[in-house]
Chain A
C-alpha cells in the first residue's frame, strides 16, 4: 500500500497542471503530516508533551532564508534540520532531566525565546525585521515534502521496531525501572527529541521556499506548535497511520474553513482540542481500535508507540 501511495504522490504533478491548487494543497497537508508524525516520535511513547515544534520549524525556515542564495537546496534543507536537531538536543539534555511539566513549560517558552532572539538580532544587527527571499516553484517544494514524508515514515517505523523504540516505551512507563534495566534515560530522551526536531527543521526549511517574505512572527507562529499537537492528539499516536490520519483531516478542514471563516476556524480547532481531551483521550485511533476489536473480547489498549513488528 505504501508503494501505491509513493507512486501516487510522485506522479501527482504529472497529471495535474503544475502550479495548480492541488499540488499546493497536498504540499500543505504533507507539511502538517510530517510535523504531526515528528511530534509523535518523541511525545508519543515518552509522554513528555513538547510545545516547541514552532521553534524547530522556525529555525528551519530561517536557515533556509539565510542560506538559500549561497548553497544548493538539498544542503540548505539538511542544515535546517541539523540546526533544529542541535537546538533540541541541547534543550533536551538540560530540561528532560526534570519533571515533565517543567519540560513542557520550557518548550512552551522556547518558541517565544527564539522568536525574541531572532527579532532582536534583526533589529540590532541586521537592521531590518524580516527578509525577502526567492521562492521556488511549487512542484519542487512538493517533491521536497514528499521526500521528507517518506523519510519520517521510515524513521518512525525503524525507531518503533528497534531497541531504541523499546527503550522509549519503557521510559514512558517508568523511567526509574528503565534506568535500572540499563537504559541511559537522559541520552535516549535527548536524542529522540533531537530526531523529532530534525524533521521539523527539514519541513520548515522546505516550506520556506513557498514564501517570498518571512519575519520572526510568521516563522515562529505558535500555530506551528498547536496544529501538530492537536493533530497527533486527535488522530492518536500508537500506530503510524494515526497521526497521518489526524493531520490529513485537520489540514483539509483548515483549507476548507480558512477562506470562509478566517477567525472562526481557529476557534473551532481550539474547541476541538477541548472536546478531544475530555471525551476522546486516545483520539480517533482509540475509537478505531475499539471498533476493530469489537466482538473479539479482551481489553483495548492503545500503547503509544507499540507497533507490532
Chain B
C-alpha cells in the first residue's frame, strides 16, 4: 500500500522554481532516500508534504486521503512527523518536556501528569539513546543529541511516516553510524521513513529506494545500485 503519494507538485517563489511537477510514492515500511545537490528542492518537498507550505498545484495523498493544504498540526495528528534541517528543538525546555509535547499534541493527546505520558516519554528517550539526559536543558546538548531529541519528539507523536531532513549533517563518522542504526530501528517499530541526506554512505546502505531531485525536477528513481549507475545522476554530481 502506498502510504504517501505525491503528484505534480509545483512550487514557485517569485521567479524561482523550487519544485516542478514532482511525482513519487512511498510504500509502507520503506526507507526512501531523497537526494540531490543543494537547492534541488528537497526540503521544499518536505515542507509541501508536512503542510508548512502550500503548493501552487499538485496533490499530496497520505494513506489514500488527500492532505494538500492541510495545516501542519492536522497533518501531524494524521500521522506524519518530521525533523528540520536546522534543528528546531525547544531549547529552553528540558529534554523530557520536548518529548512530552509530542506525546501530548500528537496522536495520543494525553494529559501532562498521566503515567502513560511519563512512561512513554522515558521509553522513547531510552530508545533514541538520551535516557540519561531527561532533565537536561535542550540547549545544553551537543548537536548529535539535539538531533536525536528532535527525532524523539517526532516519534512521540506516534507517526506512521517520518520525514528526516539531513539528520546526519554535522555528525562525526561514529555518530553517523549510530544514527544509521537508529533509523533502521525506527523502521522496525513500524514507521515508514523518507530521509533527505547528503551523507552518501548512509543513503546507500540503509535506503530501499532513492529519489533524485535536481533544480526542482525528479531526474532519477530506483534502488541504490540503479541510481548510482544512472548517467544523469553521475553527471550532476561530478559535473558541478
Contact residues of A with B, CB < 8 Å? 161-163, 166-167, 169-170, 173-174, 176-185, 299, 301, 303, 306
Which residue of chain A lies nearest to B99 when distances are taken between CB atoms in the complex? A181
Query: Residues of A contacting B105 with CB < 8 Å?
Result: 163, 167, 181-183
B38 located at the interface, meaning its Cβ lies under 8 Å from any Cβ of chain A in the complex: no
Please, what's the 1-or-0 string for B207-230, where 1 marks a CB less than 8 Å from any CB in chain A? 000000000000000000000000
Is B157 located at the chain interface by the 8 A CB criterion? Answer: yes
Given the interface contacts A180-B81, A181-B76, A185-B73, does A170 sit within 8 Å of B104 by beta carbon? no
Does chain A have a CB within 8 A of B22?
no
Interchain CA distance A174-B92 in the complex, whole Å:
11
- Find out whether the CB atom of A166 lies under 8 angstroms from the CB atom of B101: yes
Say whether A303 contacts B92, CB under 8 Å.
yes
- A163 near B111 (CB under 8 angstroms)? yes
Q: Which of A161, A163, A169, A184 neighbours the largest number of chain B CB atoms within 10 Å of its CB?
A: A163
Q: Is the CB of B90 within 8 A of A183?
A: no
Is B8 positioned at the interface, with any CB of A under 8 Å from its CB? Answer: no
Asked, given contacts A166-B97, A167-B105, A177-B88, whether A182 binds B52 with beta carbons under 8 Å apart, the answer is no
B106 contacts chain A at the CB level, 8 A cutoff: yes
Q: How many angstroms from the CA of A181 to the CA of B76 in the assembled complex? A: 7
Most buried by A among B71, B72, B88, B154: B72
Contacts of B112 in A (CB 8 A): 161-163, 166
| Contact yes or no, A180 B72, CB < 8 A | yes
Q: Is the CB of A182 within 8 A of B90?
A: no
Q: What's the nearest-Cβ distance from chain B to residue A93, in Å?
A: 14
Shortest Cβ gap from A285 to chain B (Å)? 15
Check A183 against B50 for contact (C-beta < 8 Å).
Answer: no
- Out of A162, A167, A184, which one reaches B101, CB within 8 Å? A167
Using Cβ atoms and an 8 Å threshold, which residues of chain A touch B51? 179
Distance A206 CA – B140 CA, assembled complex (angstroms): 46
Q: Do B90 and A180 touch across chains, with their CB atoms under 8 A apart?
A: no
- The listed residue (A163, A174, A180, A184) touching B104 by CB distance below 8 A is A163
| Across-interface contacts of A179 in B (CB, < 8 A) | 51-52, 71-73, 76
A163 cross-chain contacts in B, Cβ below 8 A:
101, 104-105, 111-112
Identify the interface centre among A162, A169, A170, A306: most chain B CB within 10 Å of its CB. Answer: A170
- Asked if B147 is at the interface of the complex by the 8 Å CB criterion, the answer is no
Interface residues of B in 128-173 (CB under 8 A from A): 137, 140, 153-154, 157
Q: How distant is the Cα of A169 from the Cα of B105 in the complex, in angstroms?
A: 14
Assuming the contacts A169-B93, A177-B88, asked whether A183 and B101 have C-beta atoms less than 8 A apart, the reply is yes
A113, chain B: closest CB distance, angstroms: 29
Is B36 an interface residue, CB under 8 A from the partner? no
Q: How far is A91 from B172 in the complex, measured between Cα atoms in Å?
A: 49
**Complex interface residues of chain B between 102 and 121 (CB less than 8 A to chain A):** 102, 104-107, 111-112
B100 within 8 A of A: yes
**10 nearest A-B residue pairs (beta carbon):** A182-B105, A177-B88, A179-B72, A303-B92, A182-B76, A173-B90, A163-B104, A182-B106, A184-B73, A174-B88
Given the known interface contacts A179-B73, A180-B52, A182-B157, the answer about A173 and B104 at a Cβ–Cβ threshold of 8 Å is no
Q: How far is the CA of A185 from the CA of B104 in the complex (A)?
A: 14
How far, in whole Å, are A166 and B102 apart by their CA atoms in the complex?
Answer: 11
In Å, the complex CA distance between A166 and B92 comes to 11
**Chain B min CB distance to A4 (Å):** 27
Given the complex of chains A and B, what is the CA–CA distance between A20 and B102 in angstroms? 54
Asked whether A182 lies within 8 Å of B102 as measured between CB atoms, the reply is yes
- Does B25 reach chain A (CB closer than 8 Å)? no
Contact status B77-A182, CB under 8 Å: yes
Alpha-carbon gap, A182 to B103, bound state (A): 9
15 inter-chain pairs at a CB distance below 8 angstroms, sorted by A residue, are A162-B112, A163-B101, A169-B92, A173-B90, A177-B88, A177-B90, A179-B76, A180-B82, A180-B84, A181-B101, A181-B105, A182-B102, A183-B73, A183-B105, A184-B71
